[in-house]
Amino acid sequence: MQTKTRPRFLLYFPLLVATLGSPSTGRAQPAPTKVKKVTALPSQNAVFSDLGNHGVEAPAISNMVAQGIMKPVSVGIFNPDGVVTRGDFATMVQSLYKLGKPSETVSFSDIKSTDPLFSAIQAMAPFMNRQVMCKGCALTTNFSPNAALSREEASIILVRIMGAKNQLQPMTSQELSSFLQSTPDAKNWKPAAAPYFALAIKSGVMPLLGDNTFQPALKLTRADTAVLLDNINRQFIVPIKPPVLVQPK
Amino acid sequence: MRNHESCVEIRKVWNGFVKVARQNSRLPVSLTCAFALWLAAAGTIQAQTNLSDHGGPIMQTVDANLIFWLPPGSHYVSPPAGNAAADQLYETTITNFLNDLGQTGYWNILTQYPGQCSSTACTAPQNAPGAVKVGRVFQDLTPYPRSPLQDSDVQNEIQNFINQNGLSFGLSTEFFVFTGAAVQECNGLTGCTSTDFCAYHSEFDFNGGKVIYAFMPNDDSLPGCSAGISSGPNQLSADRETTILSHELAESVTDPLPFGTSLNIFDPLGNTAWWDSNNIFSSSFGQEIGDKCNQSPASVNLNGKAFVAQQQWSNDTSNCVASFGPSIEFDVSTGSDDLRGDSSSTAGLQSGASTFQTVTLKSQGMSPWGNNTTNEVVTGLRPPVLPTAQTPLTDIAVTLTSHNSFGETDDNWNIEHLTAKVLDPTGRLICELSLGGDPLVRLTGSMPTDTFVMPNCPNQSGPGGLTQIEFVIVTGSDDLRGDSSATATIKAPNGSVLQVITLKAQNQAGWNNNSTHDLIFALTPPQPLSQLQNILITLTSHDSFGETDDNWNIQSVNITASNPPGPAQCLINSGGNPLARLTNNAPTLTLSTPNCTPTPPPTAKFNQVEFNITTGGDDLRGDSSATAVLLVNGNPMLFTLKAQSDPSWDNNTNHDKIFSLNTLQPLSAFGNAVITLTSHNGFAESNDNWNIQSILVKLSDSGNNPTCFFNAAGNPFSRLTGSAPSVTLTPLSGCP
């Protein structure tokens, strides 16, 4: 079995922990080889020549490409270490959740109605909660589709969408207090963002990194995002067969 | 931009999480609430719920220190319009905007958001003259250290000025850093100006305290930051900047520590103040007072001056507003028996037997009011008018309602102190109730209501109920004819006519040239001072055959209102030569109250001029000289402020020079004054430069009746150099 070469993202462990129901021990452990792991479901074989160091993520990448949620950058090339832009992510979550347009058109100065991304951005816009990410800011009227997506943005958007889809329930005050108490990195989080991060971590949507930090400003790679969305797809959206558990060697 | 409002049901799923020490009467409840679907430039559809209090401090007043960071070659207006004059106008507009915020309907919005409370009183943003005032202004010409700037550069900039100038900081001081056009900044936690924000307010720890600050890039030059403003009353670039500035300032006041002290298990949102935390699955979660109305501009009149500001969120009406009030503010101190969490309480505002408004003091869903705590509730009066003599506020009925769960008995509540203040939209106190006891009253299930008499509301002996108005009008060199008439029309802030007074009837004798007329009338009905907003003096000619229309020169007008024997309240005190000339084409003089700046009577004459000059951070050398040339009746008169042989005027020193004129001259005889620096360089010596920090020029009659002629200050007000050795002073500029 290949081991993960980018230790900052523990792949499937948090989902397993969440599934097994142990929020107090839900912090990701730094030694993934000592725990049970979940392999991704067999998928259509999308073959990419640039996944050499991304064997762990490859099944998720294949799944996401096969389902049309993510697209190769060219034939045979996925660019797993490339960043995900806000515009990219809008198309992904629109496709993943089949999001429709909001009841009112959302106006962005830099996105015209003829823009290819217009529909996806419209669909994602109500879930962005940009103010949580930028507490104290007077926001611009731009969407900035080419800006790289951070873990914070992805977490908030996904938690919002999953809340709207009744896939997540908010934590009670006691649950949240307990979670923050048991998560040392929480003292570094912005107050308004804390409930989103807590819910994202607890549900396995966005796990802590290998050093038990959340690192909200860290940009997501395409490989990270494939794993992230594939996890959500399998756990919350598509009823699937139970994952195959593989015992560690 | 469109502004939608509708209602939806908001689930307050997170209510129990929030530590609510005191509440606004209109805090979100779990039922239907109004919210704005704000299809705004912010780019998100906002399901709007109210702001919640998270227990942290607010800013009661703001001492604003401004740092204009503008290296040579940078401007606030993009070329080709960008130049030094435009930069100065930009900075002046911002400075004036801040200084004029106090005691306005706009600033009154913030009084809805009180801060921390002791057992007997609460802090709250003040709305009084000087509630916001510009303290120190710095011009920094040093180059930007990098591009884009980082937030750490902004913090370093502030720290440098604090260290270099020994500035104080804390919860009554905010630092604003302004930068030039197209300057970008990135904040590692929140993004960049190029993609995310137009400005931000924040905090940092320094020398054991908190520094409150805002980064204010030039929003005129940033995409997505123009607030949709295409024209404004001052300078477009500055008007766009004041719009975003008002957003950040209001948020600083109502949530000065946006990142709190830190997360902790007792209060995970610790030490923040007012923001929307009602539902993490709502798009409005995380918003502060300005965010809910992001880039929605409004024209505002601040103490008689026109500006553009952003609308702010009003918890009272759950929408974006540009003013608030009249209002009523309750401070309720609970004694030794609390008001339970599942109980509610109200205050009924009564006019005689009729209750015209019921104010929710505490709703059932809010946290309990514990023993020996004080809670403040501010709400707008409905309808939004002050009590009048016809519909006075006579009584306040406080009611406790128990909402008992199974097996629970009725709640009992000891009120130890009750204060109710009725305030006009500019924060002026109209009338007040203040009662205490041990307890003042104990409300129970069997006696859930007690009624308190509101004394004199409107206050018949004070500003709430003025009964008399006095006009002193001086006619100038064109009389008011015997067959003409003149009226005074008094208008309320909403434009309605309160009363029309005949100053001179057609059948009364004419008002001759240079005559004074002192007239006293009853105000019917009595009016609070705040209602007397505009007074229009109108000339009407009643021409006989072949007679032309009358013209009338009004030299001065002095209007006061009172409730004898109470003191007179100045409404208008204006003069000129003439103040106004009323004709058939322009028969009306409109006077806005209050306008009581003393103006020297046109007959006053002066034979003495006094220059009071403070040198700034660059001295006037010992071998340099300085002069003032003052035009008197068009003739230049030269005064030597400092001769070459005089000692130097060192940095930060003040110099007072008094000169006599040969003859008494009226104010109108005095024209511009020009201050000039002359360098007398020694061998290899370069030209002198001189920073003038402030100049006050006064005219007097041998020291008597001193009158301001010119008044200005800056940092510096003016820098005189070899290439620009003079500064011109315009008569009466800067004088009150």
* Partners of residue B636 on adjacent β-strands: B631
Identity of the residue in B188, B255, B285 whose CB atom sits nearest the CB atom of A132 = B285
> In the prediction, which pLDDT does B566 show?
61
- CA–CA dist B482, B18 (Å, integer): 72
- CA–CA dist A243, B172 (Å, integer): 58
Residue B314 vs residues B125, B317, B327: alpha-carbon distances, Å: 14, 6, 12
Beta carbons of A137 and B43 less than 8 Å apart: no
Return the ∠ at Cα B104 (arms to B103 and B110), rounded to 5°.
90
Instruction: Read off the pLDDT of each residue in B451-477 and give the average, rounded to a whole number.
Output: 80
Instruction: Tell whether the model's pLDDT for residue B481 goes beyond 50.
Output: yes
Confidence band for A21, pLDDT divided at 50, 70 and 90: very low
Instruction: Tell whether the model's pLDDT for residue B356 goes beyond 50.
Output: yes
Instruction: Read off the pLDDT of each residue in B143-167 and give the average, rounded to a whole number.
Output: 97
Instruction: Tell whether the model's pLDDT for residue B454 goes beyond 80.
Output: yes
- CA–CA dist B99, B107 (Å, integer): 12
Instruction: Tell whether the model's pLDDT for residue B417 goes beyond 60.
Output: yes
| Domain positions in chain A | 9-236
Residue A21 vs residues A32, A37, A214: alpha-carbon distances, Å: 18, 16, 20
Instruction: Give B185's Cβ-side CA count (13 Å radius).
Output: 27
B residues 224..263 contacting A (CB < 8 A): 224-225, 244, 247-248, 251, 255, 258-260, 262-263
- CA–CA dist A94, A120 (Å, integer): 6
Confidence band for A23, pLDDT divided at 50, 70 and 90: very low
- CA–CA dist B440, B414 (Å, integer): 7
* CA proximity to B195, closest of A153, A80, A215, A96: A153
Beta carbons of B191 and A133 less than 8 Å apart: yes
Distance from CA of B526 to the nearest CA of A (A): 45
C-alpha distance across the termini of chain B, in Å? 40
Q: Find the closest chain A residue to B250 by CA distance.
A: A136
Instruction: Tell whether the model's pLDDT for residue A10 goes beyond 50.
Output: no
Residue with tokens 């553009």: B308
Other Cβ atoms less than 10 A from the Cβ of B690: the count is: 25
User: Structure tokens of B640?
Assistant: 């030597």
**What are the tens digits of pLDDT across the range B63-72?**
999 999 999 9
Enclosing H/E stretch for A87: helix A86-97
User: Structure tokens of B466?
Assistant: 């003025």
Confidence band for A46, pLDDT divided at 50, 70 and 90: low
* CA proximity to B710, closest of B700, B719, B718, B699: B699
Instruction: Read off the pLDDT of each residue in B465-479 and give the average, rounded to a whole number.
Output: 89
Instruction: Read off the pLDDT of each residue in B168-172 and give the average, rounded to a whole number.
Output: 95
Residues in chain A closer than 8 A to B195 (CB atoms):
140, 142, 144, 147
Confidence band for B269, pLDDT divided at 50, 70 and 90: low
Backbone angles phi, psi at B158, to 5 degrees: -65, -45
Contact with chain A for residue B268, Cβ under 8 A: yes
Beta carbons of B223 and A140 less than 8 Å apart: yes
Cis check: omega of the bond before A42, within 30 degrees of 0: no
Distance from CA of B275 to the nearest CA of A (A): 9
Residue B483's Cβ-count burial label (10 Å; 0-12, 13-18, 19+) is middle
Identity of the residue in B39, B269, B280 whose CB atom sits nearest the CB atom of A104 = B39
The proportion of chain A whose per-residue pLDDT surpasses 70, expressed as a percent, equals 77
User: Structure tokens of B345?
Assistant: 């309480």
Identity of the residue in A106, A133, A191 whose CB atom sits nearest the CB atom of B190 = A133
Instruction: Tell whether the model's pLDDT for residue B37 goes beyond 90.
Output: no
Instruction: Tell whether the model's pLDDT for residue B382 goes beyond 50.
Output: yes
User: Structure tokens of B652?
Assistant: 């930060």
Cis check: omega of the bond before B148, within 30 degrees of 0: yes
Residues in chain A closer than 8 A to B43 (CB atoms):
106-109, 125, 130, 139, 141-143
B residues 156..215 contacting A (CB < 8 A): 188-191, 193-202
Q: Which of A24, A139, A161, A187 to mutate to test the interface with B (most CBs of B within 10 A)?
A: A139
**What are the tens digits of pLDDT across the range B683-696?**
888 899 999 988 98
Beta carbons of A187 and B281 less than 8 Å apart: no
Instruction: Tell whether the model's pLDDT for residue B318 goes beyond 90.
Output: yes
Identity of the residue in B39, B259, B286 whose CB atom sits nearest the CB atom of A131 = B286
Instruction: Tell whether the model's pLDDT for residue B28 goes beyond 60.
Output: no
Beta carbons of B43 and A187 less than 8 Å apart: no
pTM of the model: 0.68
> In the prediction, which pLDDT does B386 show?
87
Q: Which residue has the higher pLDDT, B564 or B312?
A: B312
Rg (CA), chain B: 30
Residue with tokens 């003292």: A187
Q: Which of A85, A106, A109, A141 to mutate to test the interface with B (most CBs of B within 10 A)?
A: A141
Amino acid making up residue B361: L
Say if residues B94 and B416 touch (Cβ distance below 8 Å).
Answer: no
Residues in chain A closer than 8 A to B155 (CB atoms):
none
What b/e sequence results for B501-518 when a residue is b if at least 16 CB atoms lie within 10 Å of its CB, and e otherwise? bebbeeeeebbeeeeeee
Residues in chain A closer than 8 A to B287 (CB atoms):
131
- CA–CA dist A153, B712 (Å, integer): 50
Residues in chain B closer than 8 A to A193 (CB atoms):
286
Instruction: Read off the pLDDT of each residue in B605-620 and give the average, rounded to a whole number.
Output: 92
Instruction: Tell whether the model's pLDDT for residue A38 goes beyond 70.
Output: no
Confidence band for B232, pLDDT divided at 50, 70 and 90: very high
Beta carbons of B263 and A192 less than 8 Å apart: no
- CA–CA dist A198, A14 (Å, integer): 13
Confidence band for B679, pLDDT divided at 50, 70 and 90: very high
> In the prediction, which pLDDT does A22 show?
34
Instruction: Tell whether the model's pLDDT for residue B483 goes beyond 80.
Output: yes
Identity of the residue in B200, B225, B263 whose CB atom sits nearest the CB atom of A136 = B200
> In the prediction, which pLDDT does A119 show?
96
User: Structure tokens of B646?
Assistant: 């005089």
Beta carbons of B291 and A139 less than 8 Å apart: yes
Highest mean pLDDT among A21-25, B199-203, B568-572, B679-683 belongs to B199-203
Residues in chain B closer than 8 A to A144 (CB atoms):
194-196
Residue B549's Cβ-count burial label (10 Å; 0-12, 13-18, 19+) is middle
Contacts of A234 (CB under 8 A, 6+ apart): A40, A41, A240, A243
**What are the tens digits of pLDDT across the range B629-665?**
999 988 889 999 999 999 999 998 889 999 998 888 9
Lowest-confidence pick of B416-425, B537-546, B570-579: B570-579
Enclosing H/E stretch for B697: strand B690-701
The SS3 of residue B97 is helix
User: Structure tokens of B595?
Assistant: 């306008």
Q: Which residue has the higher pLDDT, B356 or B21?
A: B356
Contact with chain A for residue B502, Cβ under 8 A: no
* CA proximity to A74, closest of A97, A48, A40, A42: A48
The proportion of chain B whose per-residue pLDDT surpasses 90, expressed as a percent, equals 64
Instruction: Tell whether the model's pLDDT for residue A223 goes beyond 50.
Output: yes
Confidence band for A128, pLDDT divided at 50, 70 and 90: very high
Contact with chain A for residue B292, Cβ under 8 A: no
Residues in chain B closer than 8 A to A90 (CB atoms):
none
Contact with chain A for residue B598, Cβ under 8 A: no
Q: What DSSP designation does B617 have?
A: S
